[in-house]
């Protein structure tokens, strides 16, 4: 039975053009979601919707400065979208962002991402029953703030690992979004002379 269904699904999807295929996949996902034992978990159903149907909220206090924004873009380009934008369906077929404003913005405006995403964004909807603005605001803040800070000594260990596997300071800085001072200090904190084997020798000197 499952085998047959899969085959039928495969055949059916093959007949569809891109837009129709996305829409059909969304429908299937909604159906699967209804039957899923995890139907109370928003991430169980990630839908691809036209980015024009997704709008920012009017209260988000989170501000991302250019260095972080560059890193976010790098992250989206290197790893792709690894989690959906969290939204609430405010009017039928229209969504307000609860979390992921900056990813949404990059996905919507950066040419490279726009091409890859075909003008769509991955979203997951919060429970429709809790849809008041205060609920959404609280949810946004929880998303923004419930995350840790990197411990310096552990970061320093990671920089050591990367250095040992041949990454130079410039590459570490670029891939991890650190400025040169941060990379240097994290290496120094480790206290390992070998980490500086790559640096140039000091200037020679003589006396008259």
Partner 1 sequence: MHIQKQILEQDVLEASIERITWTLENFSKVCVSFSGGKDSSILLNLTAQIARKHNKKFSVLFIDWEAQFNYTITYVEQMRVDFQDVIERFYWVALPLTTQNGLSQFSPTWQCWEPGAEWVRQPPEHAITQPNTLSFYEQGMTFEAFVGKFADWFANNRPAAMLIGIRADESYNRFMSIASARKMRFADDKPWTTAAPRGHAWYVYPIYDWKTADIWTWFGKTKTPYNPLYDLMYQAGVPARYMRICEPFGPEQRQGLWLYHVIEPERWAIMCERVSGVSSGGIYAGQDNQFYGHRKLLKPDHLSWREYALLLLDSMPEQTAEHYRNKIAVYLRWYEKQGISSIPDTQSNDAGAKDIPSWRRICKVLLNNDYWCRALSFSPTKTSTYQRYHDRIALKRKEWGILCNSN
Contacts to partner 1 by CB under 8 A: 63, 65-67, 152-153, 178-182, 184-185, 187-193, 195-196, 199, 202-203, 205, 207
Burial classification of residue 190, based on how many CB atoms lie within 10 Å of its CB (0-12 exposed, 13-18 middle, 19 or more buried)? middle
Residue 5 or 204: which CB sits closer to partner 1? 204
Least spacing, CB of residue 135 vs partner 1, in Å? 24
Least spacing, CB of residue 113 vs partner 1, in Å? 21
Residue 25 or 189: which CB sits closer to partner 1? 189
Residue 23 or 190: which CB sits closer to partner 1? 190
Least spacing, CB of residue 204 vs partner 1, in Å? 9
Least spacing, CB of residue 153 vs partner 1, in Å? 8
Contacts 24+ apart (CB under 8 A), 72-77: 72/102, 72/103, 72/106, 73/106, 73/110, 73/113, 74/174, 74/175, 74/177, 76/103, 76/106, 76/107, 76/113, 77/112, 77/113
């Amino acid at each position: 039975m499952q085998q047959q269904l899969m085959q039928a699904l495969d055949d059916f999807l093959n007949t569809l053009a891109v837009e129709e295929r996305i829409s059909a996949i969304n429908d299937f996902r909604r159906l699967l979601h209804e039957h899923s034992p995890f139907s109370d978990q928003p991430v169980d159903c990630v839908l691809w919707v036209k980015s024009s149907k997704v709008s920012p909220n009017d209260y988000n206090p989170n501000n991302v400065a250019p260095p972080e924004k560059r890193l976010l873009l790098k992250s989206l380009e290197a790893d792709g979208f690894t989690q959906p934008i969290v939204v609430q369906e405010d009017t039928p077929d229209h969504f307000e962002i609860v979390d992921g404003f900056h990813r949404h913005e990059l996905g919507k405006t950066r040419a490279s991402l726009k091409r890859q995403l075909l003008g769509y964004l991955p979203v997951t909807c919060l429970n429709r029953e809790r849809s008041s603005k205060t609920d959404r605001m609280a949810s946004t803040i929880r998303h923004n703030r419930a995350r840790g800070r990197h411990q310096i000594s552990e970061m320093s260990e990671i920089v050591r690992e990367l250095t040992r596997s041949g990454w130079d300071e410039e590459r570490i800085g670029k891939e991890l979004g650190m400025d040169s001072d941060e990379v240097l200090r994290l290496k120094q904190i480790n206290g390992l002379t070998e980490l500086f084997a790559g640096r140039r020798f000091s200037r020679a000197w003589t006396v008259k």
